[in-house]
Structure 1
Amino acid sequence: MTMSSALPTSRAPARWQDFLQLLKPRVMSLVVFTAITGMVCADAAINPILGAIAILCIAVGAGASASLNMWFDADIDAKMRRTRGRPVPAGRVQGADALTLGVVLSLFSTMLLGMTVNWLAAGLLAFTILFYAVVYTMWLKRSTPQNIVIGGLAGALPPVIGWAAATGTVPLNAWLLCAIIFMWTPPHFWALSLYTSEDYEKAGVPMMPVVAGAKSTRKQILIYSLLFTPLCLVPAFTGLGGLTYLAVAAGGGLIFLILAWRVFKSRAGDAADPRQDDGLYDVKAAAKDARNLFAFSILYLTLLFATLLAEHLLDLPAFGGF
């Protein structure tokens, strides 16, 4: 196992901002948002204080996973332009401190959630942390180009945890929210990897463009998009989403498919057209289609969950159900 212990130690005391960065606050915000959506869509009365504790625990659990990920991946993070400025590879935080933070926050979040809300939600949170930190980070990420596909389960579980916190159960609609995020993950991250493949190759991470090539990756993005977009319509027919949701899912799904088709027909990821610089969105001409799909995928997922959240908060009627 390659860990961050081989990296230089911090030259100066770490700032609180460095430890905050270990928690990946941007990722945490998406986790919190989808967890809140799951909790609200459960349509169950929950004590506001317990609900707030549940969301806090889910957020802290996400931060714990991120800290463990940064501890273990510091060696490969140091080799990639997108991640080399993170606290551990940059030497601002020692690997042992990131590991300790991750373990402490993991135990704190799961135990507090179990003792105050329910143990089903706590068990799901513990499974999510272990799956992301151990199964994905320590095993899948470095061993298979399917790392994102399988590892995507960790990022897809927060709405299920939120639903379990509200009701103590995980019905079909909770897993439907999970499935939407799970199927969204491959086209989202593979679009990113098409114009960051040089970084992954340099770090020895077997992302799909590195192992199978850009052309195959573009094809798989299209295939997953063709599976993902119809799935987004399903909540309107299970009593979970309403007419507004159906319109957003259909309209956004059409745009998603158009962008995926453009990626399929493009030269994104080809060796003759590398990234322009360190920016995620500043790329050369052939990679712009991949960049556009990556950016829109974030917007589309956000709109889907925001619409569901609004419909349930406003108590709007469901479109259908079975």
Structure 2
Amino acid sequence: MHGVRGETVRIGQQPGGAHGSSGAMLADRVTGSGPLSAATRRVLAYIALTKPRVIELLLVATIPTMLLASRGEVRIGLILATLFGGWMGAASANTLNCVADADIDKVMKRTSKRPLAREAVPTRNAFVFGVTLGLASFAWLWWQANLLSGALVVATILFYVFVYTLGLKRRTSQNVVWGGAAGCMPVLVGWSAVTGTIGWPSIVLFLVIFFWTPPHTWALAMRYKEDYKAAGVPMLPVVATEQAVTKQIVLYTWATVLATLALAPAAGVIYAAVALVAGAWFLLMAHQLYSGVRRGESVKPLRLFLQSNNYLAVVFCGLAVDSVLGWHTLGHTLFGWA
């Protein structure tokens, strides 16, 4: 809903910032290249404010979580309604993040084409747009799901804007560690939409994304370290050595994989197998990056950033397939749990 990264990536709104060709193409259209009318450019500028690629996390995380919560039953209407409400919430948080970060977006090459950095949208209009989306997401989820889901979306927006963007981002190298909690909220929203509660499996899934966010974002920040340094943002790669950063990446990657395995009792054999194999692959990439830095080799941290997206997608897709099949959970199979 994202994170945080919000500039990431990643999967919801996450701190850090996703970097992709589709985003660059949209920015180019907003800023003047191509035979588009002024009205079309304005519409594209407002779309760009929501950081569409960042919201991919909403799809990656929310649907499998809802399928697990209603194991064996696919409630298409509720899923679509929750995704729409969650999209509005994520779009609100990302838009307000653009408002708060307009000054540093102008400095960083990677973000210099964002609408507010290029003054393609008045700041006041962007603020009103972001607040309106947030209020609409709350009302929609309260109507279509329940009050808890709507309240969780509001909490996500407030946390992302006030705690991460305005509080942590420019003050501490641990910004994406704690700020990344906003990007974990889609799983809680999805679970609560189905059950009206926050169950332990949704908390475990929250932790999976929470631990995944730092290695994902720090790998990107290693690639764009000079950008963050110029903007005065103390991302870990800016204030620490590459060896220290990659060591932290390895530790958080281990935490991520262990968290995915902790969910296995609530899921099934398919999920457990996917989490194990994908986890081994993710760990291998993290250790290879760390080893390359220790040996003084030229490394490509952006590769880990990109592949970490694939890792998370594979794990959650495995969870979705496992949940739809409706087989006994692994806990039931091994221990006779209900």
What range is the shorter-chain TM-score in? 0.7 to 0.9
C-alpha distance in 2 between matches for 1:28 and 1:76: 21
Name 1:31's counterpart in structure 2: 58
Corresponding residue to 2:125 among 85, 97, 106: 97
Distance 2:270 2:96 in 1: 39
- Compute the displacement of 1:70 (Å): 0.7
Which letter maps to 2:299?
A: A
Q: Which moved more, 1:91-100 or 1:186-195?
A: 91-100
The answer on 1:242 being equivalent to 2:254 is no
Cα distance in 1, alignment partners of residues 254 and 60 from structure 2: 25
Letter in 2 for 1:157: M
1:47 and 1:232 map into 2 onto residues whose CA distance is 24
For 2:192, the equivalent position in structure 1 comes to: 164
Distance 1:75 1:50 in 2: 39
Residues 1:194 and 1:47: Cα distance change in structure 2 (over 3 Å): closer
Alignment partner, residue 306 of structure 2: 295
- Give the corresponding residue for 2:67: 40
Q: How many residues align?
A: 295
Which residue identity is paired with 2:312? L
* Structure 1 moving runs of 4+ over 3 Å: 10-14, 44-51
The alignment status of 1:256 with 2:288, answered yes or no, reads no
1:182, 1:40 → 2: CA distance? 21
* Cα deviations by residue, 1:230-289 (Å, 9 ceiling, x for unpaired): 22111112x2x2212112111111111111112112239x9xxxxxxxxxxxxxx8231x
- What secondary structure is seen at the aligned counterpart in 2 of 1:266? helix
Residue in structure 1 matched with residue 170 of structure 2 by the alignment: 142
Q: TM-score, normalised by structure 1?
A: 0.86
Q: What per-residue deviation string (whole Å, max 9, x for no partner) do you get for residues 140-184 of structure 1?
A: 111111100001110011011011011101110011111100010
For residue 21 of structure 1, report the CA deviation from its aligned partner.
0.9
Q: CA deviation at 1:291?
A: 1.9
Question: Does 2:237 match 1:226?
Answer: no
Identity %: 38
Deviates more, 1:249-258 or 1:154-163: 249-258
Q: TM-score under structure 2 normalisation? A: 0.82
Task: Name the CA shift for 1:126/1:247 in 2 (closer, same or farther; >3 Å).
Answer: same
Q: Which runs of 5+ in 1 are unaligned?
A: 1-9, 271-284
Cα drift, residue 292 of structure 1? 2.1
Distance (whole Å) between structure 1 residues aligned to residue 217 and residue 145 of structure 2: 33
**Greater displacement, 11-20 / 58-67:** 11-20
Contact 1:46–1:166 (CA under 8 A) maintained in structure 2: no
Change (3 A) 1:108 1:265: same
CA distance in 2, matches of 1:184, 1:50: 27
Q: Distance in 2 between matches of 1:115 and 1:195?
A: 43
Partner of 1:318: 329
Matched position secondary structure for 1:287: coil
**Residue 43 of structure 1: CA displacement?**
1.1
Deviation at 1:99, TM superposition (A): 1.0
**Amino acid of the structure 1 residue aligned with 2:204:** L
Out of 22, 38, 44, the position equivalent to 1:17 is: 44
Tell me the distance in 1 between the aligned counterparts of 2:43 and 2:128: 15
The residue type paired with residue 314 of structure 2 is L
User: Is 1:75 aligned to residue 103 of structure 2?
Assistant: yes
Gaps of 5+ in 2: 1-30, 33-37
